[in-house]
Amino acid sequence: MTRQITYAEAINEALDEILRDDESVFLLGEDIGHYGGVFKVTKGLYDKFGGDRVIDTPISESGFIGLGIGAAMTGLKPVIEIMWIDFTLVAIDQILNQAAKFSYMSGGQSKVPLVIRTQGGGGRGNGAQHSQSLEGLFAQFPGVKVVCPSTPYDVKGLLKSSVAENCPVIFIEHKMLYNTKGEVPEEDYSIPLGKADIKRKGSDVTIVSLSRMVQFSLNAAKELEKEGIDAEIIDLRSLAPLDIETVIESVKRTNRIVVVHEAHTTFGWGAEIVSRVQQDAFDYLDGPIIRVGAEDVPIPYNLELEKEVLPQVKDIVKAVKEALYIEVK
């Protein structure tokens, strides 16, 4: 059996290998050096590669992302850590007005090979300003790629590909996944961006999700299996590029689809999937498409209330039954 490591360890391993193999790569972020990162993702890298390659910054997201953009445009490959995805909003001008646009506005003369690693989502009672799921916001802007891995294997392979990209990549980890374990091979590998992964084969309904909601969907599939419902779980892995073909192919087999995301339902990226599916697979749909997402309120601090607001396994089970007309309204 392949060795089991955690999601955080897999990222650490990927960063270690990238720093080792490519001298133009350096890390930038708050408390990532000596302290090793709040989630211990960069643990040991400062000692191994030194303060020139693993740089601690002041609390100034806009400033050091700007620094990273300049470095990227002039030949380096910065991998920036933003401690909480909520803080990217402080630096949104740098990310979306600057990094995302330069290649286009310079007619391709400038490239910004920049990776912004960050972590989002709830489940830890961190409150409204530390629990958001903003992947859909970034995916709305051409010029950045948006990656949201769900397993240790995926997070390592996708991070390696992200650093190899010649454009800005928003790499969104999930705080509740850092301690989850999974198989990661010893040997070198990478996973191309824009390739969805079918995490479970099924024939009755397609469940589309990413990040932490993939595990929730898999748990829901186990419960549904007891009732004879065979769910197919698609992990999109990235929103930009979006692998809609895998979703369409699946819907053509199952005729039913539920989209699950931790982001708020209203104007969430689930609506994009719904739109594409109804357009490209209309004649294969046997019922309306159901979305499962967070309630439309800021994420509560209280853990019990947080559970009420964020999608849970039971919500997915219920949505699937609704999609299959087992619970007819």
Residues at the interface with another protein (CB under 8 A): 255, 282-287, 325, 328-329
CB of 283 to another protein, least distance (A): 4
Nearer to another protein, 31 or 249 (CB): 249
CB of 328 to another protein, least distance (A): 5
**Helix runs in 180-257, H state only:** 212-226, 244-254
Task: Give CA–CA dist 199/174, Å, rounded.
Answer: 18
- Neighbouring residues of 309: CB distance < 8 A, sequence distance ≥ 6: 122, 294, 295, 297, 299, 300
Nearer to another protein, 189 or 325 (CB): 325
Nearer to another protein, 179 or 203 (CB): 203
Task: Give CA–CA dist 282/287, Å, rounded.
Answer: 10
CB of 231 to another protein, least distance (A): 16
Nearer to another protein, 161 or 255 (CB): 255
| Residues taking part in catalysis | 61, 130
Task: Give CA–CA dist 319/329, Å, rounded.
Answer: 12
Would you state the structure tokens that stand for residue 291, as one six-digit string? 């979305």
CB of 205 to another protein, least distance (A): 12
- Longest CA–CA span in the chain (Å) reads 61
Task: Give CA–CA dist 274/260, Å, rounded.
Answer: 11
